Amino acid sequence: MATIDTTTTEEKSFCRICGSSCGIIAELEGQQVLKVRADRDHPVSRGYTCPKGRALPQDHHRADRLEVPMIRENGALRETTWDHVLDDLAAKLTGIIGETGPAGVGTFIGGGGFLDAAGFFSLLSFLREIGTPSAYSDVTIDSVAKALAGELVTSITGLEPRADLERSRMVLFVGTNPVISHARTLQMHAPTAALRDMRGRGTKIWVIDPRKTETAQRADGHIAPRPGTDYAILGFLIRELLEDGADTDYIERHAQGAEKLKAAIERFSLEYASAVCGVEQQELLDLLAAVRKAGRLSVDTGNGVTMQRAGNVTQWMCLALMIVTGSLDREGGSWVNPGLINRKDKKDLPAAPEAGWNRPGPESRPELRGTGGDFPCCAIPDEIAAGNLRAMMNFGGNLEVCMPDTALTYESLQRLDVHAVFDVRHTRTTDIATHILPCKDQLERSDMTFVTDSAFPLMVAQYTPAVVEPLGQRKAYWWIVGQLGKRMGIEFFPGLDIDTATDDDLLEYMLSGSDIEFAELQSKRLILEPHEFGWAQRHVDEKIGGWRLCPWPLAEQLSELEARENAQNPQPLILIPRRQKYHENSKLLELRDEPSVIMHSQDARAANIGEGALVEVRSVNGTVRRVAKIDDTLRPGCINVPHGWSDELNVNRLTGTQDVDSLTGMVLYSGLEVSVAPV
């Protein structure tokens, strides 16, 4: 801590609004956070922050912050003491478990929970010790296709390859816009500079996106297909490469199912793929030539892939493209981060079977399966209606905003006996809580990188102490869970005295048995290690005899898609997602973004809509009204209604809980058919 004058101090930390974990310096006057700026000496983010990170002071001191526990009694929420809210919550949870068994108590972890390391760990302890299968998270409204395809193709649970920013010869971004989002998988720091540096080193950057995104504008090539048809482009590339340009020697040694794959994608000729995707044949040939020339590449995807109907298949095609070019887990191609805290490369990981995604789902939706450790979010309203789910421990999820079918979800949540919300501010979700547990925000807790351990573009772990004291009566999530346990007769952290333990004690407790020492991480603040290739390859060769090029559950989905390839859209417009620059999902909405309906001038003219006009967007599920913004970076026929906005502005008034992916229960957030009209 460097003292500037008698009252102003500076404290180094790292930002946890998104997973990029940029190094920051907080300027303080006593406990007042005056400013957050980039840490130029940070070895990874090297002086980069985005406007969201720099808005941490406003977010910390926001007027609608939660500081005091609240409880709903006789229909109304009122402030109370920690003792009362914990006694009541513990008694109700115990009662529900007695009546329904543990499954009646569910958990949700959202964007406010994942990056609280001790909090995430406590959630896992809670699930394990209670023994409930009713675990939900925003993974099944985000990127579950990645987990599914990764597991089926590689047998390694959670495998998500990423570009190696220093060495990939080519990066193909599909349905991700890292310049604004910092990428779904890559957690890319300083994206604009990174892209410039990569191109400077000769890396070719290509983008497939129905919009000429901020990333596409900085790329060597861009293709704007009809939404939801990317797999046809990828299928075409693989088909041609298998004829000429694939690494056949590599495929023979490290992959299986090449013949099945070839048969599965046979239909994607140049003519057919170009017609399905609505792009010129020459564009596909140019991309093919670029892939052939690079030889190896990394394919990085985001929500534009995972939120569409063909999400699993597209994700599979991306992996297959990397495999046939000998690029997966190989220098010049893509890298698989084994994690630094929890070294997967040093573990004897089990091999998931090809049909391993057949886990029992929630009772009220027998057609759905369990995913990873979760039930799909789309089942929450049905589980509540069936009486299977009676309590929800909601850790940092703004369910009113993020869940599909807002009206149904919002009404359902109000029928829970217990909806305990762990948050830092008042929202429409806390409005319908039964118990509100005000949590320490990121500046108030010591913390480390944990969930993102194997999700960084580098092998790095970080620690930060708390920057300021907690406001009001806020407590750490782990402390709240521990205190609940005491009242329920459950030890969530065996061997730890939760009355005297500090945040640091909990972090140390978490790291016992891990691959790094807490004391070392705490003193160094950041540990960075060089990364190597080949661990995932060795594992897959040994355990299953090579990457599975054509897992049958995905091949089945690919053949089912054929019927749609030749069908006409009944509605004129296709809703697709996009991230906005100044807010992170429902966080930081008070910054500069606008809640608009974004459309191409051609579509606006056809519907008689001018810039700034109030419009209504309609889907089979509902309607939403916002002002129109004309943006010709979109492909005509596409429309954006950015998410994160609450109440009347919520795009999830248009989405539904029934038309979901048959393997994962993923909600269709991209590719929904809508119409638009002036109001």
Ligand X SMILES: Nc1nc2c(c(=O)[nH]1)N[C@H]1C(S)=C(S)[C@@H](COP(=O)(O)OP(=O)(O)OC[C@H]3O[C@@H](n4cnc5c(=O)[nH]c(N)nc54)[C@H](O)[C@@H]3O)O[C@H]1N2
Note the residues at the interface with ligand SF4 (CB under 6 A). 15, 17-18, 20-22, 49-50, 52-53, 182
39, 59, 88, 142: which one binds Mo ion (CB under 5 A) = 142
The whole-angstrom separation of Cα 567 and Cα 655 is: 22
Which range of residues in 16-24, 51-59, 139-147, 560-568 is near Mo ion by CB under 5 A? Answer: 139-147
Q: What is the DSSP string of 122-170?
A: HHHHHHHHHT-S-EEEGGGGTTHHHHHHHHHHHS-TT---EE-TTT-SE
Q: What is the DSSP string of 42-67?
A: -TTTTT---HHHHTHHHHHT-TTB--
21 contact, one of Mo ion, ligand SF4, ligand X, none, CB 5-8 Å limit per kind: ligand SF4
> What mask, x for binding ligand X by CB under 6 A, covers residues 180 to 199?
xxxxx---------------
Helix 477-488 vs helix 82-100: crossing angle, to nearest 10: 60
Q: Which is nearer to ligand X, 69 or 210 (CB)?
A: 210
- Contact between residue 84 and residue 411 where contact means Cβ atoms under 8 Å apart: no
49 contact, one of ligand X, Mo ion, ligand SF4, none, CB 5-8 Å limit per kind: ligand SF4
Q: Which is nearer to ligand SF4, 296 or 643 (CB)?
A: 643
Contact between 53 and ligand X (CB under 6 A)? Answer: no
DSSP H stretches of helix in 549-607: 552-565, 601-606
210, 326, 370, 551: which one binds ligand X (CB under 6 A) = 210
Helix 281-294 vs helix 230-243: crossing angle, to nearest 10: 50
Contact between 211 and ligand X (CB under 6 A)? Answer: yes
User: Of 304, 306, 287, whose CA–CA distance to 222 is shortest?
Assistant: 287
Which range of residues in 35-43, 78-86, 224-232, 336-344 is near ligand X by CB under 6 A? Answer: 224-232
| Least distance (Å) between residue 654 CB and ligand X | 8
> Site residues for ligand X, window 439-458 (CB under 6 A)?
439, 441-442
Contact between 586 and ligand X (CB under 6 A)? Answer: yes
| Least distance (Å) between residue 589 CB and ligand X | 9
Q: What is the DSSP string of 215-238?
A: TGGGSSEEE-PPTT-HHHHHHHHH
> What mask, x for binding ligand X by CB under 6 A, covers residues 636 to 665?
-------xx------xx--x----------
Q: Is the dihedral of CA 627, 630, 631, 634 positive or negative?
A: positive
Contact between 142 and ligand X (CB under 6 A)? Answer: yes
State the DSSP code for 465. Answer: -
Looking at this protein, which amino acid is placed at residue 259? E
**Pair of tokens at residue 165:** 């920013």
Count of CB atoms situated within 10 Å of the CB of 546: 21
Contact between 581 and ligand X (CB under 6 A)? Answer: yes
Contact between 377 and ligand X (CB under 6 A)? Answer: no
Q: Which is nearer to ligand X, 210 or 637 (CB)?
A: 210
| Least distance (Å) between residue 551 CB and Mo ion | 25
Size of the site for ligand X (CB under 6 A): 64
228 contact, one of ligand X, Mo ion, ligand SF4, none, CB 5-8 Å limit per kind: ligand X
Q: Which is nearer to ligand SF4, 50 or 604 (CB)?
A: 50
Size of the site for Mo ion (CB under 5 A): 1
> From the centroid of its chain, how far is CA 159?
14
**Pair of tokens at residue 207:** 């983008």
Q: Which is nearer to ligand SF4, 15 or 476 (CB)?
A: 15
User: Of 337, 21, 368, 309, whose CA–CA distance to 150 is shortest?
Assistant: 337
Contact between 303 and ligand X (CB under 6 A)? Answer: yes
| Least distance (Å) between residue 660 CB and Mo ion | 17
The whole-angstrom separation of Cα 165 and Cα 154 is: 22
Phi, psi of 625, rounded to the nearest 5 degrees: -115, 130
**Pair of tokens at residue 139:** 């993974």
> From the centroid of its chain, how far is CA 649?
22
Helices (H) and strands (E) in the chain, counts: 24, 30
Q: Which is nearer to ligand SF4, 182 or 525 (CB)?
A: 182
Q: Which is nearer to ligand SF4, 18 or 549 (CB)?
A: 18
Residues that bind Mo ion (CB under 5 A): 142
Residues that bind ligand X (CB under 6 A): 18, 110-113, 116, 138, 141-142, 174-178, 180-184, 208-211, 213, 227-228, 230, 302-304, 308, 395-398, 401-402, 422-425, 427, 439, 441-442, 576-581, 583-587, 643-644, 651-652, 655, 669-671
